[in-house]
Amino acid sequence: MSILVIGLSHRSSPVTIRERFAFAEARVPAVLQMLRETGIAQEAVILSTCNRVEIYAATELEPRQGFASLREFLVTCHDYREPLTDEIYSLGEPQSIHHLFKVACGLDSMVLGETEILGQLKKAYDTALQAGHTGVRLNKAFQRAFNVAKQVRSTTNIQRGSVSVGSVAVELAEKIFNALNDRDVMVIGAGDTSEKTARALLSRGARSILVSNRSHDKAVALAGELGGRAIRFEEWSKEFANIDIVISSTSAPHYLLDRARLEPLMKARRNRPLLVIDIAVPRDIEPEVNLMPNVYLYNIDDLQAIADDYLKLRSEEIARCEKIIREKAEGLLRHSGQRGPEGAGHPALSHKGAN
Amino acid sequence: MWFANDRHVFALAVIVYGLSMVYSVLLWRKGFRQDNRVNYWLLLVAFGLHTTSMVQRGYRLNHCPVSNLYEATGFVCWTIVTAYLVVGFWSRLRFLGAFASPVLFAIGVFALMPGLDPRAGVSEAPAPDVWTSLHAALMSLSYGAFGLSSVAGLMYLTQEHNLKFRKLQAVISLLPPIQRLEAAVGRLLLAGFVLLTVGLALGAYDLALTEHPHARPGGDLKIIWSGAVWALYLGLVVMRWKFAQGGRRFALGAIGSFVFVLLTFWGSNLLSPIHHP
């Protein structure tokens, strides 16, 4: 009995197709039951997330026959009648095991190294396990996948760092301030990214939030959503003495804050550190303010560059992760009485691999 | 270590401090991105050798070895490495060794300079009186605190530079938040200043008791020097707490003051009839 994988992911198909193949959570046990009753698979797990739909099946069928049957099952299940080319991939052993491990480790995710997929995979496995649709082969494979994910997380940097602008801003704040729970945040301009950044800071414990916008109504609305206080646009500098973090995203065509204006404000703040996040284009804050003592200025490009650098660092870890995955997959296949990639008992098939 | 005298053992410790400093350069280049135990172990070995040399000398002289410049400087060094080994117990703070080892190496080399240790070959020496011992111990501890303060200042400047100009490095490094570093510089400096003040007061009291001929204002270079160092650190304390001058200037002040102490300590001591009769 070998483990086969068939499915679609963000790498192989657009969302317009993926959404057609998605399984509603409540429907999964019934589909698994159906799949086993057809005799295609003796054990099965269905993973359905916004970025992938995959069936992991332990089957006694020959791989080619198994792939054809699983593909037919998947298409029929969703009543999909349009032509398909390379959107669906099929993987036989040992690639199927490698793929499962890579998915668990976040190596196949849209955001490299993200951890949400591991929780989704555990849930998918648990659903199948509870309904009695897994057996010795899939149980071992999934348990090993979770162990590999843990090992990869603890021994490599694949999950290190933030890859979104909001979370990078939070990380920077945590490198400047002792703690965020006694910090006050001011949002100038009620844009979408500034809202997300403010939310990220609030989620890490920022004490209070002030919102100022040219349209006071918008400021009031955003302050209401964030649980903060709205202030009139003309008055934001009066509140500055108590502020530790400023997020600016207005559409002003000129600098809102320059060095000459900030210097007296900093004196009023007794030179406490100030984090200024300027996500406006054109910029709201004069770049010169970064040269002032105790002022730390980041614009949207700085934040994006850090996020990109983090992704680059993660990419550099791929080789280390894959080495661990390869060793663990070979170990699992040896343990299961199968042979590894050098001499598989049956040809390893890969139709439009996801990796 | 029966085959070596205490100075030889201390020299070995300084060599290991030097190895740790070389290793620290690698950690700096990597931007403190990893917890590195090697440095901790190197400093632990150096600490073992350093402690052995102090114990050897203490047994040989039959009293606490903090009565001349070599011994006092060695004690400052020992205070710094002990403090590091305690805080380095937490893996997140272990990177501090990369900042401490250059300071330890510099102090160690300074302590080994000729002329600082007139009791190198002495088998037993009369124990100094209790006030002299207390004065020497408190002064050594205060310089240890100033040394640590300058180490924290160095970390502050590194992290500040990263936060302003090497932004990815700032977030991936293991350095603590800049505000915490600033607080560490201030607290260590204040602790050192209190110890220095008490140490100088005890020294003055001791001189008054012994009625030393040079014990008068302007009568001994080391006394003038100590007054200048005290005023220097008082200036920093006032600058910090009265005028809210934290951050970069304060960190530079802490580092600069300690460098001044390191560079002038030996000379002022040699020219002092009280400390170098």
Determine the average pLDDT of the residues in A239-263. Answer: 89
Confidence of residue A80 (pLDDT cuts 50, 70, 90): confident
Query: What average pLDDT does this structure show over A156-160?
Result: 81
The answer, yes or no, to whether residue B37 has pLDDT greater than 90, is no
Q: What is the mean pLDDT of residues B234-261?
A: 88
Cα separation, B24 vs A24, in Å, equals 55
Per-residue pLDDT, averaged over A266-291, amounts to 88
Decide if A310 contacts A158 (C-beta within 8 A).
Answer: no
Task: Check residues B275 and A294 and name the one with the higher pLDDT.
Answer: A294
Q: How confident is the model at residue B121 (pLDDT cuts 50, 70, 90)?
A: low
pLDDT tens column, A96-121: 999 999 999 999 888 888 888 899 99
Cα separation values, A263 from A276, B135, B238, Å: 14, 45, 22
Q: Is A168 on the interface with B (CB under 8 A)?
A: yes
Q: Where in the sequence numbering do the catalytic residues of A fall?
A: 50
Q: Does A311 touch chain B (CB under 8 A)?
A: no
Banded model confidence at residue B275, pLDDT cuts 50, 70, 90: low
* C-alpha distance from B241 to closest chain A C-alpha (Å): 11
Distance (Å) from the C-alpha of residue A151 to the closest C-alpha of chain B?
Answer: 17
Model pLDDT for residues B152-196, shown as the tens digit of each residue? 899 899 999 999 987 777 887 778 889 888 988 998 899 999 999
Amino acid at B20: S
Percentage above 90 pLDDT, chain B: 26
For chain B, say whether A139 makes contact (Cβ under 8 Å). Answer: no
Mean pLDDT of A87-93: 91
CA A244, distance to chain mean position in Å, is 29
What local confidence, expressed as pLDDT, does residue B184 receive?
86
Question: What pTM, to 2 d.p., does this model score?
Answer: 0.69
Cross-chain Cβ contact A178/B183 below 8 Å: yes
Note the pLDDT of residue B92.
Answer: 66
* Whole-angstrom distance, CA of residue B110 vs CA of residue B146: 16
Q: What pLDDT is attached to residue A355?
A: 32
User: Residue B122: its pLDDT value, please?
Assistant: 62
Residue B45 reports pLDDT greater than 50: yes
H/E element, B261: helix B247-270
DSSP calls for B6-35: HHHHHHHHHHHHHHHHHHHHHHHHHTS-S-
The pair phi, psi for residue A268, each rounded to 5°, is -65, -25
Question: Would the CB atoms of B177 and A306 count as touching at under 8 Å?
Answer: no
Q: Is this complex scored with an ipTM above 0.95?
A: no
Asked if the C-beta of A233 comes within 8 angstroms of chain B's C-beta atoms, the answer is: no
| For range B10-34, the mean pLDDT | 83
Contact A240, A265 (CB under 8 A): yes
DSSP secondary-structure letter at A25?
A: G
Q: Are the CB atoms for B43 and B80 separated by under 8 Å? A: no
Best of A163, A180, A294, A312 to substitute, by most chain B Cβ atoms within 10 angstroms, is A294
Q: Do A305 and B163 touch (CB under 8 A)?
A: no
User: How much of chain A exceeds pLDDT 70, in percent?
Assistant: 95
B52, burial (CB in 10 Å: exposed 0-12, middle 13-18, buried 19+): middle
Decide if A178 touches B, using CB distance below 8 A: yes
The per-residue pLDDT of chain B, averaged, comes to 83
User: How close is the nearest chain B Cα to the Cα of A259, in Å?
Assistant: 16
Residue in chain A lying closest to B164 (CA): A296
The larger pLDDT score, comparing residue B148 to residue A90, is at A90
Q: What is the pLDDT of residue B134?
A: 82
CB pairs under 8 A between A and B: 57
Q: Residue A271 is nearest to which of B159, B167, B247, comparing CB atoms?
A: B247
